[in-house]
Structure 1
Amino acid sequence: MDVPKWQYGKCENNPEVGGYFIFVDHRDGEDIQHIGHYLELEHPNRIKFTWATVDDLPDADDVTVEIPPLENGSEVTLTHEVDPRWAEYIPQTRNAWIAMLEAMHKVLHN
């Protein structure tokens, strides 16, 4: 089994509109807290939430995940609205979301 260069720490989740999530991952010797609030929950086709690290608060991005039903399965569209001040991090952000979606795909299809 491959060991990721980061490991999860704490995780809390209150999945309701207005609720929050927070998780901590350990990367390169540092704990990073990610936090967000649920803006929309339309099970099972759409979720919209804010996304930030605790250090960046009160600034937060909006993330929308849409999963429309298809005849044979589903398709995921993830839109992360990045504040222009953080534009230099867009490639890293894109790669992180791709890695997370690929990991979920692997888990769901094994």
Structure 2
Amino acid sequence: MSGTIEAKVTQRFAVPPERVMEAWLDPVSVREWMAASLRSAGLSGEMGRVEIDARVGGRFAFSDFRADREAVSWGEYRTLDMPSKLAFTWWTSPEEEEADTSLVTLILEPAGTGCVATLFHEMDAVWEPYRARTERGWERMLAALAQWLEQSGS
């Protein structure tokens, strides 16, 4: 990708990388922690589709219901290096998919009995005005995942 920017966020987890990666790729888990993330953003948290084909070249699709529409995000897994690295495209429109200029990379590094996650979202530079908003969205998702893992006793 040329002419790109990067959003970056970090989150500490009280569980090992294996558990974080499992919760990231399991549709039942994703439905729960993603709904919590949406509620923390003031949305209903009503999830629609949660489809995950967790393999390199596999695709995912998530949707949630908002007042006026169904918001859909989808992408393709590009790297799946269990349990330390996951890379995937992240699209919300057919135009984004066609341009193929959005890549998210999640790195999980052991830290004591838990781990630290660093998430990078590389996207076209036209999205610069939305970098901070993008970081807040990923921060909410990672925080919701950390809280869900803690509450689920994992």
Q: TM-score, normalized by length of structure 2?
A: 0.65
* Partner Cα distance (1:70, 1:28) in 2: 41
Structure 2 segments unaligned to the other structure (5+ residues): 1-35
3-state SS of paired residue (2:99): coil
Per-residue Cα deviation, 1:11-60 (whole angstroms, up to 9, x for no partner) = 21100000000111223422111111000001111100011113432134
Other-structure match for 1:49:
88
Other-structure match for 2:141:
100
* Partner Cα distance (1:72, 1:106) in 2: 16
Once the two structures are superposed, the pairs formed by residues 22-33 of structure 1 within 5 Å of their partners are 22-33=61-72
Deviation above 3 Å: which 4+ runs of structure 1? none
Other-structure match for 1:58:
98
* Partner Cα distance (2:48, 2:144) in 1: 18
3-state SS of paired residue (1:87): helix
* Partner Cα distance (2:68, 2:132) in 1: 22
1:86 paired to 2:127: yes
3-state SS of paired residue (2:55): coil
Aligned pair count?
109
Other-structure match for 1:15:
54
* Partner Cα distance (1:62, 1:73) in 2: 26
Identity of aligned residues (%): 31
**1:101 CA drift (Å):** 0.6
Amino acid at match of 2:55: E
**1:70 CA drift (Å):** 2.5
Higher normalized strand content (fraction of residues): 1
Which one has more relative contact order, counting CA pairs under 8 Å at least 6 apart? 2
**1:88 CA drift (Å):** 1.4
Amino acid at match of 2:99: D
Amino acid at match of 1:24: S
* Partner Cα distance (2:126, 2:50) in 1: 28
